[in-house]
Chain A
Amino acid sequence: MSDALSDDGSDINQDDSQDVMTPAELIAKLEEAWLNEKFSPELLENKSEVVECVMEQLTHMESNLQRVKKGDAKASFHRMEIDRIRFVLSSYLRSRLQKIEKFFPHVLEREKSRVEGQPSLLSPEEFAFAKEYYTNTETYLKAVALKRMPLNLQTVDLLKAVPEPCLDSFVFLRVKEKQENILVEPETDDQREYIVDLEEGSQHLMRYRTVAPLVSNGAVQLI
């Protein structure tokens, strides 16, 4: 066997101030983030530290594989695993980018009104992308139509024109940490609000708005 592959790379987090995560835990985090992002109607907080660590792991493994002899049986196992991880990572980043494009004025507005110290919705790369997308689209609409319209109609408020994410969408979820006294709002006037407990491991169908904070703190997983 080759030495290059016996390195399990478990010290991904040299920064003592942070929790040390094993690579397996890191991949599990990525998969959770992937499914949550796929099913949540709004853009969730960015997980750029996870993205960066996963990419580091992939690069590390790929460079080890470069040094491996042809025909090494282990190399094919590693290549298959790399393909799987890269798929989840790309798919996760794609879901986010799609939402950024879909809701760009709102996403940028959230970012603008964010208080110092509050976690940012967008990673620095996503923020740069969203700003460029906004400018590009606004410039286009102006050049083609708006500046040829009567003076009082030469601007469009993109915040009003582009639909907001619908937080009242229903989602499927699995409970990871037990939650008590979750208030379920009535659907119709002749119903009354009521309270449910979300037992660990149970699965539910309810409005995203009700569980949004639980998704972001990791107490429930969207499925």
Chain B
Amino acid sequence: MFCEKAMEMIRELHRMSDGQLPAFNEDGLRQVLQEMEALYEQNQADVNEAKSFGRSDLIPSIKLRHCCLLRNQRCITAYLYDRLLRIRALRWEYGSVLPANVRFHMSAEEVQWFGQYKKSLASFMRSLGEGEGLDITQDIKPPKSLYIQVRCLKDHGEFEIEDGTVILLKKNSQHFLPRWKCEQLIRQGVLEHVVS
């Protein structure tokens, strides 16, 4: 059956849940391109035959092959474009440096596309507000100026909170701090959220 391989590539992406990027199917792409070349050559030959000898009986098979060519083209572009959309989403999830296991699944050209995408996005953000600049990849969630109870897991030294007060983060000390101020320290393992 024609177009089998191309459909398989589409299914391969379809099976993956949204944010996931499977390894680039270089081999699949090559096979589809080979099939297209073969279909095209057969069509060229049949078209010549039809023209030179008036073989109108060849026209249905020429049409069928042409439809298969278009379908293959459509599937391949869809495959490539869907991957770009997934890669684009990764920029928003991970920031401008992608984790190694993700990059490992990208083709050289995808890495190039990604590089250009990052550049366009960066210059867009730089040019906002008449050159003032605004990083719109930040502030994804609405701010919460709420306070939480935290415990210090290691000595961290002085720490300034929003109203300018400076507190000492000493191992095992407990504090009542604005959540947004602690989030990074919690991720770094300096503080832990005490759930009462």
Contacts and interface: CB of A to CB of B under 8 A. Distances in A.
Interface string A150-177: 1001001000010000000000000000
Interface string B13-25: 0000000000000
Contact of A141 (B77, B124, B132, B164): B77
Interface in B118-173: 119-121, 123-124, 127-130, 132, 134-136, 138-143, 145, 160, 162-165
Contact of A125 (B76, B117, B128, B165): B128
Interface residues of A, number: 46
B143 A84 contact: yes
B148 to A, nearest CB: 16
Contact of B132 (A59, A72, A148): A59
Contacts of A136: 113, 116-117, 120
A110 interface: no
Interface in A78-113: 79-80, 83-84, 86-87, 89-91, 93-94, 97, 101
Interface stretch (B33-41, B50-58, B188-196): B33-41
Interface of B: 29, 33, 36-37, 40, 69-70, 73-74, 76-77, 80-81, 84, 88, 107, 109-110, 112-113, 116-117, 119-121, 123-124, 127-130, 132, 134-136, 138-143, 145, 160, 162-165, 180
Given A128-B123, A150-B69, A140 B128 contact: no
A99 B29 CA distance: 29
Nearest to B107: A144
Main secondary structure of the interface of A (DSSP, over half): helix
Most buried by B among A59, A73, A124, A136: A136
Contacts of B136: 90, 93-94, 97
Contact of B33 (A84, A101, A148): A148
A39 interface: no
Interface of A: 51-52, 55-56, 59, 69-73, 75-76, 79-80, 83-84, 86-87, 89-91, 93-94, 97, 101, 124-126, 128-129, 132-133, 136-137, 140-141, 143-146, 148-150, 153, 156, 161
* 3 A-B pairs closest in CB distance: A55-B129, A70-B164, A71-B164
